[in-house]
Structure 1
C-alpha cells in the first residue's frame, strides 16, 4: 500500500514495500528515492537471466526498454509514472536514486541507469562517445578541449544539448568510480531560485539567437542558433553554456559574461553530494548544472556516466 503525505509547495513523500520517496536532505527542490535492496537484486538477477549485456543495449535499442520493464516488474508498474511526474514538475524537476550498495559492477550501473532513463523517455545519441550514453573520467592531468575533464577549475553552470539540433529535455549523471577525490561536487541551480532571473530573462538579448558550436572532441560540426530564454509551459526555459557560444558584439559578450557570473554567485546554487552508485536526474529546461573544482591530488580518479534525452509523447 502506498502512503502519500502532502508537504509544502506540493511536495509529497511516498512509501511502499519496494521504494521510498522523500524530499532530498540538501534541497527541497529535489527528491531522493530509496529502492529496497530486494527489488534491486531482483532487477539485476532478471537482467542476467535474460542475458542482457551492455553491448546488447548499445546495439539493440529496444533492449533498453525491455530492461526498463524489468525494473518496473520489481518495483511496481506505477514507478515510471512517478519518475516522469517528478521530472515534469516545475516545483521540483529532479531526483537522486542509487543501487544501495547492492552492486559495485559498473556494467550493472549502466543497466540500472538505462532502466531509469528509458522510464523517462528516450536517450539521445551522444556524439562524443558514439553511443546512447557517455562514460568519461576526470584525472590529475588532461589535454581536453573543454572543461568537462579539467579537474582543478570550476565547470561553470550550463544546460546540455546547446550545440545539437534535437530536444534535450532531461539529463542523467551517475557516479561510477571515485578514488582520492575531494571537492568536485555537482553544482545545481533551479532557474526559479536564481535571484536575477528576471533581469536577464527580460533583457533585449534574451530573445537573441546566439550561435553555438562544439569543439572537436564532441564530434559535432554543425553550428546551431539558440535563444537563451524561451517559453516553457508559460514559464522561462533556458539554454546556455559559456564555452561553446559565439557572440558577435561586445554588448552580446558582456550580456553572456554577466549572466554566467550572476548564476555562479547565486546563493541558491546547490553543491550536491552523490555517492558512488547513485545518479541524479534533472529537467534540462529549468535546471542548470556544473561541477566544483577538485582539490589537487596526483592520484585523482573519477568516472561519470551521462545520458541525456527527450520526453516521449
Structure 2
C-alpha cells in the first residue's frame, strides 16, 4: 500500500467544521481546511471573552481555554485528530490556516496557540522570553545565527538541540510577507532521505556531541546529544550544523557529510505557505530549513514559532 493509500485510510475526512485532505505539494503532509464559519465563531468568542495575546502570555491556562473554543466549533475529536497525525510516522505533519477570515496578527497568535495546545504544551522560548517567538527576516541583519539572514540557505535541522527539554513538535506560522521571492520552507522526512541508513548506522551515529547556543538564544547551558536515537523502533534525529561542537576532524567530517547529504536529497520539499497559514511537524523525524530569498531592499517576512512537547 502506498503512502497516499495509507493516508486516505487513516485520516482524510470531511465534516461540517473541517476537511482533511492530502497536501497538494507532498504526499507526506495533510492540509486541513477549516470552515470559515467555524473560524469566525472561534474568533468571535475569543473577542467576547477578552482573550488578548497579553492574557495568554501571562495566564497559561488561558491557552487551553482558547483551544477549547476551537473544539466547540469543530468538534471534540479534532484535537485527537491533530495529535494522531503528528504522531503518525507515515505523515507527522499538516498545514492549516485562517482561510482569509482575519488579517490581524494578534488573532494569528491566538489561533496558533489554540492549535499548539491541542497538540500538547509549548516550551518556553528563551529567545523571546515567551511561550512563542515572533521574528522578522529583512534585507539587512546583524544576528549571530542564520535564522534572520535572508540571502543564504538556512540548512536542514531539528529544533531544541541545545535545551534540556523534550521538543516533540514544531509549529511555524507566516504572519507577514512583503516583497519576498524565494524563502520557501525546506522540509525532509527522515524516512525519505536516501542515505539515512548509511549515517544512522555509522559508528558516530550514537556519539554524544556538545551543543551550545549563540548569545541571541539566551540559553547559557551546554548539552550533549546523540545525532540518532531510537523512537518507536525507528530512527529519530537531533541535529543543527550551527550549534554542534565536534572534538575531532573525524567527527566534523561526519557532521559535514550528513548535512550535505540531506541538503542534496531528491526528496527534499520546498513548501509554499500563504500568510495566515501554519505548518506543524513532528520534530523527531522531520527536518526543516529555509531557501534563500532573492535580493530586495524592501524584503519583510515575519514568522511565528511555537515548539513543545506532547502531554502524557
Q: How does the TM-score come out when normalised to structure 2? A: 0.98
CA distance in 2, matches of 1:309, 1:10: 25
Asked if 1 retains the 8 angstrom alpha-carbon contact of 2:4 and 2:27, the reply is no
State the partner residue of 1:89: 88
Equivalent residue number for residue 102 of structure 2? 103
> Map of 1:141-220 to 2, 5 A cutoff?
141-220=140-219
- Over the aligned positions, Cα root-mean-square deviation in angstroms equals 0.8
Deviations along 1:231-277, one digit per CA (max 9) or x if unpaired, are 00000000000000000000000000000000000000000000000
Deviation at 1:9, TM superposition (A): 2.6
Q: CA deviation at 1:17?
A: 1.1
2:130 matched to 1:138? no
For residue 32 of structure 2, give the secondary structure of its aligned residue in structure 1.
strand
* Rounded Cα–Cα distance in structure 2 between residues aligned with 1:167 and 1:207: 18
Question: What SS does the corresponding residue of 1:204 show, helix, strand or coil?
Answer: coil
Distance 1:150 1:187 in 2: 15
Q: Where does structure 1 lack aligned partners over 5 or more consecutive residues?
A: 1-5
Q: Aligned residue for 2:293? A: 294
Q: Which residue of 2 aligns with 1:3?
A: none
Any idea what SS the aligned residue of 1:263 has? Answer: helix
State whether structure 2 residue 6 is matched by structure 1 residue 9: yes
Change (3 A) 1:241 1:7: closer
User: How big is each residue's C-alpha offset from its partner over 1:151-175, in whole Å with a ceiling of 9 and x where there is no partner?
Assistant: 0000000000000000000000000
What is the CA–CA distance in structure 2 between the aligned matches of 1:237 and 1:78, rounded to whole Å? 28
Question: Per-residue deviation at 1:13?
Answer: 1.7
The equivalences for 1:215-254 within 5 A come to 215-254=214-253
Distance 1:65 1:81 in 2: 14
Distance 1:199 1:188 in 2: 20
Deviation at 1:7, TM superposition (A): 5.2
* CA-to-aligned-CA distance 1:118-138 (integer Å, 9 cap, x gap): 000000000000000000000
Q: 2: CA distance between counterparts of 1:296 and 1:188?
A: 22
Per-residue deviation, 1:10? 3.8
**Is the Cα–Cα contact under 8 Å of residues 168 and 307 in structure 2 kept in the other structure?**
yes
For this pair of structures, how many residues does the alignment match?
Answer: 308
Q: CA deviation at 1:8?
A: 1.0
SS in 1 for 2:204: helix
